[in-house]
């Protein structure tokens, strides 16, 4: 498959002269296939699939089996063509450029039938082709997926503008390094001055410059007076995301003025790898502005196979859902794309830290000179484009390629391994790392994820065990072992990937399926599952602790199974995440000091089973509601060890607080606690996880009357002077398929409107685990969901993302609990 871009130019009369002009070529283009049998209009930015759909020539590409039916689109060659007139006289301009911001991917570009360029790398200013993954379809798109324009200028042109705030520890002051790249087309040197102004920091500095003909780089150093208080950028939950407006004005010879405006954020980031008392190896954690921060969040994949569908509204919805769930970090995974500028701008504004992979994943890449040249251009461009964003806290060379090489995923002959290691070092160390160190001094770089960090460096850039619990970060997946058993999980320094699958809600699937597809073993369900044995693994894990649906109604069974996979996923990821959270401050059996938990994955690329907590389009799965609680800044975590029940307090707060812990035991058959205990006041230390409570389970059951493991459940929460309170957490004393006393809960809701939100006043007839409120396809989120309801009444809020009415909610509303399928 190959893309051709054909542009035909007609000249028109001269327009007014200026220092520079830009003429957009966005809008309608003509698209035809390789043999000319199909011709249609198409929008730019866009892709062939979208154009075909908009013209009614294909269905929604995500409908049923269309990922198979429409393979012909990607296997054909396509030509985009446009005939246009430039509204200015070219001869009056010293330089005229055709600028294509993103071409997908292998293409030849012709201008008036003359070949003027070729592309073969979508990451180098000209979308990744997706050939499927275990969570996504194969849609290798083709098209002009970003802006295209004609630029004309005289004298000189500003090609790139980037900057980095740098903190000088010795002088205790901030400086700003600004780099500007010019194309000087004048035959003579161009002189002038630069005025840099940051009004709120009372900073204005002027510099004289002289630009010689050719490509020239201007580096400027701006000092911020130490007498001025600079407010730093903090991650979500740790402070404000203060930024400062900056203008940079270039006043150049010939009356040429070029002005750039930008938002400047000040923050420091350090990756701390140092010895830990009582443990071999090294720590692996981040300090932001000198403060150690536990990274909690998820992994980001492209929001759609077709990037022209990724709107500003969708990005805002997905990223707002990140902070609404108390996350502070996203890892932009190395098998997707470098995201658009708006993604990083939103992360800056919302306080979302970004672990940025370079786009290399799960493969062994070549190192011929042509490929290395392409990679170097890609990396250099992305560093310039992204390094001014405070949200990006680390560069990572690749996803899992060190592990793939050293754990021999691809069955390399042992005698050939040195060659592959040499190629690996050449690509990620001698090229990518070299460019990062030269181009960005404001954040750390690691070669891979997972990696052993400094230990990997010491072992020659590849480690014998890249997934070690004593160094760096780990990726961990285990779908067979019981996920309620916390001893399964690695007590590692940093967990950057882990997770379990679930199915998206029926309302999401219904849009891309038909009635014959609505069973767990249908051809559609098997096809939509791209992870080997994924559906069986979900049922296996669910069956360990829950009764599987047994309805005689096939559709009811399908919906109940979907619900149960979401219950299983949420509970599994909760158990694993809470294990990492409570491991931050302790060393047990020489392991611990875990300082990061990023589950796989945040979002979906289509409507299918996956590890995501947000469905395609942004609807929250049960896991995302659980994440809102287990990533809360203050959390009690309960677990058992050798039949003793423990509660740890986990704090992401910056201050110590005097608190109490309330522990309640409930029976499944009664809506009032059978016993309750409130601890004495204690001080919860900032940024720590400590044991607050321990009691043998047998004593707790005896203390609470006639309780047994099967008949009772424990809930608990932290509070500080009735102002600051943690979410209520719970601990099951047995599998719920063995629970005694559970009866079918009749749950009703009265819905009322309060401003832009809606109030759901719930009443239940019995204790109900995993209460799930659903309003179908109405976009929005609840204040809580998937919860354990141990009291007769509860009030939940619904925040719509689009205008809706009370009557629409009442018509769509459904409530389910585990008792409905038992």
**What's the sign of the alpha-carbon dihedral 470, 474, 477, 482?**
positive
Taking only the tens place, the pLDDT of each residue in 418-433 is: 999 999 999 999 999 9
Residues in the chain: 822
Residue 229: C-alpha distances to residues 170, 233, 268, 328, 391 (Å): 17, 13, 15, 25, 21
Collapsing DSSP to helix, strand or coil, 553 comes out as coil
- DSSP element (H, E) containing 574: helix 554-582
User: Residues 284-311: what's their mean pLDDT?
Assistant: 96
DSSP category for residue 224: P
Please give the CATH architecture assigned to the domain spanning 156-265.
Sandwich (2.60)
Q: Alpha helices of 654-740 — where are they, by DSSP H?
A: 697-703
Beta bridge partners of 818: none
Taking only the tens place, the pLDDT of each residue in 145-182 is: 889 999 999 999 999 999 999 999 999 999 999 999 99
User: Residues 596-618: what's their mean pLDDT?
Assistant: 97
Residue 2 has pLDDT above 80, yes or no: no
Residue 18 has pLDDT above 90, yes or no: no
Angstrom distance (rounded) from CA 202 to CA 223: 11
Angstrom distance (rounded) from CA 744 to CA 633: 34
Angstrom distance (rounded) from CA 474 to CA 451: 7
Closest CA to 572 of 621, 626, 529, 523: 626
The residues near 451 (Cβ < 8 Å, ≥ 6 apart) are: 396, 402, 463, 466, 472, 473
Q: Are 726 and 663 in contact (CB under 8 A)?
A: no
Catalytic residues: 400, 497
Collapsing DSSP to helix, strand or coil, 766 comes out as coil
Q: Which two tokens stand for residue 506?
A: 């029926």
Q: What percent of the chain has pLDDT over 90?
A: 91
User: Residues 491-511: what's their mean pLDDT?
Assistant: 98
- DSSP element (H, E) containing 196: strand 190-198
Helix and strand numbers (H, E) in the chain are 17, 49
Residue 708 has pLDDT above 90, yes or no: yes
Angstrom distance (rounded) from CA 354 to CA 329: 6
User: How would residue 132 be classed by pLDDT, with cut points 50, 70 and 90?
Assistant: confident
User: How would residue 786 be classed by pLDDT, with cut points 50, 70 and 90?
Assistant: very high
Closest CA to 643 of 700, 698, 588: 698
Better-predicted residue by pLDDT, 499 or 120: 499
User: How would residue 122 be classed by pLDDT, with cut points 50, 70 and 90?
Assistant: low
Angstrom distance (rounded) from CA 567 to CA 544: 12
Angstrom distance (rounded) from CA 210 to CA 221: 16
Q: What is the CATH number that goes with domain 20-153?
A: 2.60.120.260
Q: Tell me how crowded residue 123 is: count the other CB atoms within 10 A of its CB.
A: 21
Chain centre distance of CA 358: 14
The answer to whether domain 280-632 has CATH 3.20.20.80 is yes
Residue 136 has pLDDT above 90, yes or no: no
Better-predicted residue by pLDDT, 822 or 397: 397
Residue 10 has pLDDT above 60, yes or no: no
Least confident of 78-92, 464-478, 560-574: 78-92
Mean of all residue pLDDT scores within the chain: 94
Chain centre distance of CA 49: 25
Angstrom distance (rounded) from CA 137 to CA 66: 10
Residue 16 has pLDDT above 70, yes or no: no
- Identical fold for domains 20-153 and 280-632, yes or no, is no
User: Residues 683-710: what's their mean pLDDT?
Assistant: 96
Angstrom distance (rounded) from CA 675 to CA 664: 6
Angstrom distance (rounded) from CA 753 to CA 734: 39
User: What's residue 126's pLDDT?
Assistant: 35
User: Residues 674-693: what's their mean pLDDT?
Assistant: 96
Residue 357 Ramachandran class (φ > 0 left, ψ -120 to 50 alpha, else beta): beta
The answer to whether domain 635-733 has CATH 2.60.40.10 is yes
- DSSP element (H, E) containing 512: none
Q: Domains of the chain: which residue ranges? A: 20-153, 156-265, 280-632, 635-733, 747-816
Cβ-in-10-Å burial (0-12, 13-18, 19+) of 677 comes to middle
The answer to whether domain 747-816 has CATH 2.60.40.10 is yes
Q: List phi, psi (to 5°) of 201.
A: -105, 15
Q: Which two tokens stand for residue 313?
A: 């509204």
């Amino acid at each position: 498959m190959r893309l051709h871009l054909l542009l035909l130019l007609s000249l028109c009369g001269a327009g007014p002269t200026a220092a520079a002009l830009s003429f957009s070529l966005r809008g309608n283009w003509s698209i035809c296939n390789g043999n000319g049998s199909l011709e249609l209009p198409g929008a730019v930015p866009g892709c062939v699939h979208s154009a075909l759909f908009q013209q009614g020539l294909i269905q929604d590409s995500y409908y049923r089996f269309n990922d198979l039916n429409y393979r012909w689109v990607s296997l054909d060659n396509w030509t985009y063509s446009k005939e246009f007139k430039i509204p200015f006289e070219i001869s009056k301009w010293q330089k005229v450029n055709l600028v294509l911001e993103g071409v997908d991917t292998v293409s030849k570009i012709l201008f008036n039938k003359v070949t003027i360029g070729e592309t073969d790398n979508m990451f180098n200013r000209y979308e990744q082709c997706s050939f499927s993954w275990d969570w996504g379809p194969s849609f290798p798109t083709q098209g002009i997926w970003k802006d295209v324009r004609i630029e004309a200028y005289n004298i000189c042109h500003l090609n790139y503008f980037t900057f980095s705030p740098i903190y000088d520890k010795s002088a205790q002051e901030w400086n700003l390094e600004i780099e500007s790249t010019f194309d000087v087309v004048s035959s003579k040197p161009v002189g002038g001055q630069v005025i840099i102004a940051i009004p709120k920091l009372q900073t204005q500095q002027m510099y004289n410059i002289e630009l010689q003909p050719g490509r020239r780089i201007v580096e400027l150093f701006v000092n911020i007076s130490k007498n001025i208080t600079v407010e730093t950028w903090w991650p979500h939950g740790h402070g404000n995301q203060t930024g400062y407006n900056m203008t940079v004005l270039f006043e150049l010879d010939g009356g040429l003025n070029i002005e750039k405006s930008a938002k400047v954020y000040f923050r420091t980031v350090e990756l701390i790898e140092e010895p830990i008392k009582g443990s071999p190896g090294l720590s692996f954690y981040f300090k932001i502005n000198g403060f150690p921060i536990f990274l909690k969040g998820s992994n980001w994949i492209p929001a759609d196979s077709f990037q022209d569908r990724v709107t500003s509204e969708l990005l805002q919805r997905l990223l707002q859902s990140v902070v609404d769930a108390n996350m502070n970090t996203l890892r932009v995974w190395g098998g997707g794309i470098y995201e658009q500028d708006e993604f990083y701008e939103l992360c800056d504004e919302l306080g979302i830290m970004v672990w940025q992979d370079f786009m290399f994943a799960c493969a062994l890449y070549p190192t011929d000179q042509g490929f290395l040249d392409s990679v170097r251009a890609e990396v250099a461009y992305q560093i310039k484009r992204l390094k001014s964003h405070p949200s990006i806290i680390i560069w990572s060379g690749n996803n899992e390629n060190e592990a793939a090489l050293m754990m021999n995923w691809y069955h390399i002959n042992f005698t050939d391994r040195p060659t592959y290691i040499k190629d690996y070092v050449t690509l990620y160390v001698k090229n990518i790392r070299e460019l990062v160190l030269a181009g960005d001094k404001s954040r750390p770089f690691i070669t891979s994820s997972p990696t052993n960090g400094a230990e990997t460096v010491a072992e020659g850039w590849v480690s014998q065990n890249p997934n070690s619990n004593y160094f760096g970060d780990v990726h961990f997946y285990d779908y067979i072992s019981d996920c309620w058993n916390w001893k399964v999980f690695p007590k590692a320094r940093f967990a950057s990937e882990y997770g379990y699958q679930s199915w998206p809600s029926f309302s999401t699937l219904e849009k891309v399926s038909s009635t014959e597809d609505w069973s767990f073993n249908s051809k559609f369900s098997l096809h939509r599952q791209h992870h080997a044995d994924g559906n069986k693994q979900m049922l296996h894990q669910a069956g360990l602790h829950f009764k599987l649906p047994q309805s005689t109604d096939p559709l009811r069974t399908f919906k109940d199974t979907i619900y149960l996979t979401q219950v299983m996923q949420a509970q599994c990821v909760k158990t694993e995440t809470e294990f990492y959270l409570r491991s931050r401050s302790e060393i047990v059996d020489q392991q611990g000091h875990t300082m990061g938990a990023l589950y796989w994955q945040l979002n979906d690329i289509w409507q299918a089973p996956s590890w995501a907590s947000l469905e395609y389009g942004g609807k929250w799965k049960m896991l995302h509601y659980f994440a809102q609680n287990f990533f809360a800044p203050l959390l009690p975590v309960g677990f058992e060890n050798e039949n003793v029940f423990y509660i740890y307090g986990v704090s992401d707060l910056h201050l110590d607080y005097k608190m109490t812990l309330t522990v309640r035991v409930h029976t499944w058959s009664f809506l009032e606690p059978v016993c309750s205990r409130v601890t004495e006041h204690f001080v919860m230390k900032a940024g720590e996880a400590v044991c607050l409570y321990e009691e043998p389970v047998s004593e707790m059951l005896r203390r609470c009357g006639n309780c047994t493991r099967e008949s009772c459940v424990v809930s608990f929460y932290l509070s500080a002077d009735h102002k600051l309170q943690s979410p209520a957490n719970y601990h099951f004393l047995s599998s719920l398929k063995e629970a005694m006393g559970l009866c079918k809960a009749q749950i009703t809701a009265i819905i009322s409107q309060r401003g832009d939100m809606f109030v759901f006043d719930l009443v239940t007839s019995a204790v109900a685990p995993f209460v799930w409120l659903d309003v179908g396809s109405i976009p929005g989120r609840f204040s809580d969901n998937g919860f354990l309801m141990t009291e007769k009444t509860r009030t939940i809020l619904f925040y719509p993302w689009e205008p809706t009415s009370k009557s629409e909610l009442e018509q769509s509303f459904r409530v389910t609990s585990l008792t409905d399928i038992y």
